[in-house]
Structure 1
Amino acid sequence: MEAPLLSADQWAERLFSDGWRVAQGGVIEVLEPATETVLTCVGRADRSDVARAAASARAAQPAWAALTADARQKVLLRAADLLEQHTADLAPWIMRESGSVGGKAAVELEHAAGFVRQAGVMATEAAGLVLPAAPGKTSIARRVPLGVVAVISPFNFPLVLSIRAVAPALAAGNAVVLKPDPRTPISGGFLIARVFEAAGLPEGLLHVLPGDAEAGDALCRDPNIAMIAFTGSTGAGRKVGEVAGAHLKKVSLELGGKNPLIILDDADPDVAASNAAWGAWLHQGQICMTAGRLLVQRGIHDAVVERLVAKAAHLPAGDPMSGNVALGPLISRGQFERVQAIVSDTVAAGAHLAAGGTYQGLCYAPTVLTGVTPGMRAFDEEIFGPVAAITVFDDLDEAAHLANLGEYGLAAGIITGSVGRGMELGKALEVGHLHINDATLDAGPHAPFGGMKASGNGTRISGPANLDEFTTWRWETVKVAATAYPF
């Protein structure tokens, strides 16, 4: 039987930087949210750990960039194979560390392998243009690596939201320093380190540094780092953009969302309720693309609510490792308290608690709020919890107005019996992703991902966006022989 890729003995109180080494910043206790007990301990990176890793990455990067594209591609494709071959022993770490149910962990591993394969394809794509030039002169625009890319990733889809940046950055010839969320350093970091280590990635090209805000700030300031790729909250993203921008780094920010799922009155109420439940409750609502606003046209409102309440009653929340549950725990006690406060404050403001609002430990039951209006917390704020907040509307102009309220602009879905009607409404929505007759939860290796307004800084990641994101243009000219100028 093949040995598992992950062993806690490797990383105990350590980080990954030219091998497994003791961190200078101390130790992080990683809690299992379902039990709120210590799952493992890892090293905590401080500023000195970041400085050492960034310098090592910069020293290693030129040799990696000088390899043929085929050589880099082979490493990436081997890494994708390993993710698929070791799903059975990798999935439990995602489940225990992030609170994922088994199906979500399996899909995350499948998508992660897809992102790595897509990056492998990107490694061998054409990366330049021949430009107009005078006779006897060749003019080329070439995409070249940035150097060292720092990736700062969140807890909710820790593997995918790390590897979707790590893999294309490496494919383009960069080195990477990855800071996973300190709550999910294994599935968001060390799993990736082990996969690429086993795939033959040369030493020094990938560093994994679990840490808190100190490590993130150090990455944004370090002179050896050329780019910050950040995924997380809008508040934290603003701080990252401010510090990194002051140091003239390229910055990619993929931030929060308050995504509308608009259900028109010509939709099938059963299908509409299914999309609403999936969009609002998958992974406990802890997804940036979660359907944070369910906008339901008046004529179908009661039918959708009835079906959604029935679904809530039959979707159990509990420890993903204990059996067949639909929802796992929220990531932390702090996040639980935030969700509970938003629900309580919204009900106090006049909304109706139609289902849920109950909990056991950090496992929060799927919840339905009706009568939610602008100004209520459940309408205005990104909840990151399993709360379906329903707002009624009368016509398409009102739907577009409600959908566009607020600072976010990530994703939107429209459920309708008329594609033309849905597409016409979609033109008015200020979002980076639009899905007609689908939930707001949609992403993959081949699609450019990113939002408008406070959901991002206009950058995109994945698919055709990756080459632009993780390289820069260099203009090169060649003349057969040097010629004299008037001076």
Structure 2
Amino acid sequence: MSGELFIDGKWRSGAGSELISIDPATGEVVWRAATATGADVVQAVEAARRAFPGWADRPHEERVAILRRYKEILVERTATFAEALSRETGKALWETKAELGSMAGKVDLSIKAYQERTGVTENAMPFGRAVLRHRAHGVMAVLGPFNFPGHLPNGHIVPALLAGDTVVFKPSEETPLAGQLMVEALEAAGVPAGVINLVQGGRETGQALINQEIDGLLFTGSAAAGAFFRRHFADRPDVILALELGGNNPLVVWGADDPEAVAALVVQSAYITTGQRCSCARRLILPDDAFGRAVIEATAALADRLSIGPWNGENEAFMGPLISARAADVARAVADSMGGERIRPLGAVEGLSGAFVTPGLVDVTGVDTPDEELFAPWLQVRRVARFDDALAAANATRYGLSAGLISNESSRWEAFLNRIRAGVVNWNRPTTGAAGSMPFGGLGASGNHRPSAYYAADYCAYPVASFEAEAVADTLKDIKGLRP
């Protein structure tokens, strides 16, 4: 390999400004290179456009075979790829190894989803047959996030390639190495020139990409960015938008009886991946009584026991750093500006870099708080008098990604399931629980009703309905009102 951009089957160097990726746990440089210029982006899109007809016309079985080889390569490279992800994101090795497992598992799930959701179906008709087929859109732009820099863009790219689309991929500027390693694996699997293209850079590179004549934008990131893309493409209904955005996710506790067991689910919902999952619980809603107070105390006590440390520390850590020291500074500033009673601060960690924070907990009962996603281990507690009040508080958000109920009462679950506004709704499981064999996405400010995971097949191809007869038949008799 020579260079950090991959365009039309060749690695090359960019000519833009320098981009540096830093291990947030140590401050060490992980990756350094020049970014793509606007001209590089144009060439990447042109390469994808040229490659599209041949890739889309290629027999589906051949595309499947290439992606199965990609899966094998991911498995072979799990150890080195996972370590690179940990260095670049700060996540513990147990998390990044699981991320590589999800990436490899995505291939078989996508093959199955394509056949089930976007394959070919045929029905007999009096004149012949009615056939439903699916066709690829064309050139897909994929913009990746930093929190799961392998798994989440992989979840767009694999189904897009299976469908016959070509891709121009821009990873997050925080995690360029992860994107490079993914494209290296696709290249090694035999993806033809121009079918997958990689451009590195920040906001300017992303802007240059969405200004091109692309056929789709597949994006995982913030609600603010998603809103910008909706406006940008308002006059381009031909561009398919699949937006997987954030959430201000509620976790309701009602009708449970073991504060410690509840606290374990709360901690796993709010603090896993240092709070850097779009499905993390941000709001804990529970009864304003002795049991509710016991849950708060148990959650605070369990949070104090969570190990925090670098990915390569002597002992396995539950929480690593945030993506950068700057992200930690911003998160603490937002948390400090919020009212309420501090139960645990979003504090610094002695002896570790500025990117590390302690899990925060604040009681905001009776306090108006911003309806925003704070991408950090920060949980707001709100105590209410009745279950109906808990449901109302849970739905008091413009987001709608994930939600959870902790309860031993099935009637509460039925009411919660019927009335909550979210795309992922869990019962006695963490709000972060999800499966590649199910849809994943939200409504409101959390997405645009195009969920990913198993349903990614839906936005990577469009349906074509055909009515077909093998031969020309005389249909004069079907024309009503003909004069003799």
TM-score (norm 1): 0.91
Counterparts of residues 184-333 of structure 1 (less than 5 Å): 184-187=175-178, 189-223=179-213, 225-248=214-237, 249-299=239-289, 300-324=291-315, 325-333=317-325
The aligned residue for residue 5 of structure 1 is none
1:54 maps to a residue whose letter is V
Matched with 1:7 is none
CA contact (8 A) 1:73 1:121 kept: no
Confirm whether residue 89 of structure 1 aligns to residue 112 of structure 2. no
Using the alignment, how far apart are the partners of 1:11 and 1:123 within structure 2? 35
Instruction: Name the SS of the counterpart of 1:181 in structure 2.
Output: coil
Shift of 1:63: 1.5
Give the Cα separation in 1 of the matches to 2:348 and 2:445: 31
Contact 2:340 2:363 in 1 (8 A): no
Q: Is this contact kept in 1: 2:280–2:431, CA < 8 A? A: yes
Which of 133, 137, 148 matches 1:142? 133
Could you report, residue by residue, the CA deviation over 1:213-268 in whole angstroms, capped at 9, with x for unpaired residues? 22222222212x21101111011111112223333311111111011111114242
Q: How does 1:388-403 map to 2 (within 5 A)?
A: 388-403=379-394
Q: Residue 110 of structure 2 contacts residue 457 of structure 2 at CA under 8 Å; is this kept in 1?
A: no
Select between 158-167 and 294-303 the one with higher mean Cα deviation.
294-303
* Equivalence for 2:434: 443
CA distance in 2, matches of 1:374, 1:426: 27
- Match status 1:343 vs 2:335: yes
Deviation at 1:372, TM superposition (A): 4.5
**Count of residues in Structure 1 that have an aligned counterpart in Structure 2:** 469
> Which SS does the other structure have where 1:311 is aligned?
helix
Provide the rounded CA distance (Å) in 2 between the counterparts of 1:227 and 1:238.
Answer: 16
Per-residue deviation, residues 86-110 of structure 1 (Å, max 9, x unmatched): 2111111111111111111111111
Alignment of 1:4-43 (within 5 A): 10=1, 14-17=4-7, 18-43=9-34
Match for 1:236: what amino acid?
A
TM-score (norm 2): 0.91
Q: After superposition, give the CA deviation of every residue in 1:182-201 in whole Å (9 maximum; x if it has no partner).
A: 111122x1121111112121
Among candidates 358, 363, 369, match of residue 362 of structure 2: 369
* Alignment match of 1:334 (pick from 318, 322, 326): 326
- The alpha carbon displacement at 1:438 in A equals 0.8
Runs of 4+ aligned residues of structure 1 deviating over 4 Å after TM superposition are 123-126, 482-487
- Tell me how far apart the structure 1 counterparts of residues 398 and 14 of structure 2 sit (CA, whole Å): 39
Task: Work out the CA distance in 1 between the residues paired with 2:307 and 2:78.
Answer: 25
Shift of 1:440: 0.5
Aligned AA (2:363) = T
Q: Which residue of 1 aligns with 2:167?
A: 176
Question: Contact 2:300 / 2:343 at 8 angstroms: preserved in 1?
Answer: no
Contact preservation (8 Å) 1:396, 1:425: no
SS of 1:454 mapped into structure 2: helix
Query: 1:458 is aligned with what amino acid?
Result: H
- In structure 2, relative to structure 1, the CA distance for the partners of 1:171 and 1:144 (3 Å cut) is same
CA displacement 1:382-402 (0-9 Å, x = unmatched): 111111221112211111111
Structure 1 spans left out of the alignment, 5+ residues: 1-9
Q: Is the Cα contact below 8 Å between 1:154 and 1:180 reproduced in 2?
A: yes
| RMSD between superposed Cα atoms in Å | 2.1
Is the Cα–Cα contact under 8 Å of residues 256 and 262 in structure 2 kept in the other structure? Answer: no
Structure-1 separation of matches of 2:445 and 2:247:
8
Q: Is contact 2:41–2:199 with CA below 8 Å preserved after alignment?
A: yes
Partner SS, residue 143 of structure 1: strand
Q: Secondary structure at the match of 2:247?
A: coil
Shift of 1:353: 3.0
| Cα shift at 1:136 | 3.6
SS at match of 1:20: strand
1:445 counterpart SS class: coil
Whole-Å Cα distance in 1 between the matches of residues 231 and 257 of structure 2?
A: 44
Partner of 1:473: 463
Distance 1:315 1:88, change over 3 A: same
* Contact preservation (8 Å) 2:398, 2:444: yes
Change (3 A) 1:124 1:354: closer
Give me the whole-angstrom Cα distance separating, in 2, the residues matched to 1:175 and 1:469. Answer: 14
User: In structure 2, which of residues 118, 136, 149 is the aligned counterpart of residue 158 of structure 1?
Assistant: 149
Matched position secondary structure for 1:16: strand
Structure 1: how far apart are the matches of 2:434 and 2:33? 30
Counterpart-to-counterpart distance in 2, 1:441 and 1:91: 21
Distance 1:474 1:442 in 2: 35
- In the TM superposition, what is the alpha-carbon distance from 1:482 to its structure 2 partner? 7.5
The answer on whether the counterparts of 2:51 and 2:195 sit within 8 Å (CA) in structure 1 is: yes
Instruction: Measure the CA separation in 2 of the matches of 1:416 and 1:81.
Output: 42
Cα offset for 1:15?
1.1
Give, in whole Å, the separation in 1 of the partners of 2:224 and 2:58.
39
CA contact (8 A) 1:115 1:444 kept: no
Instruction: Select 1:109's aligned residue among 79, 100, 106.
Output: 100
Q: CA–CA distance in 1 between the matches of 2:96 and 2:248? A: 24
1:123 is displaced (CA, Å) by: 4.9
Q: Residues 15-42 of structure 1, C-alpha deviation per residue, up to 9 Å, x if partnerless?
A: 1222211113233111111123322113
Task: Assess if the C-alpha contact under 8 Å between 1:268 and 1:417 holds in 2.
Answer: no
Query: Using a 3 Å threshold, how does the CA distance of structure 1 residues 186 and 241 change in structure 2: closer, same or farther?
Result: same
Distance 1:373 1:441 in 2: 27
Give the SS at the match of 2:438: coil
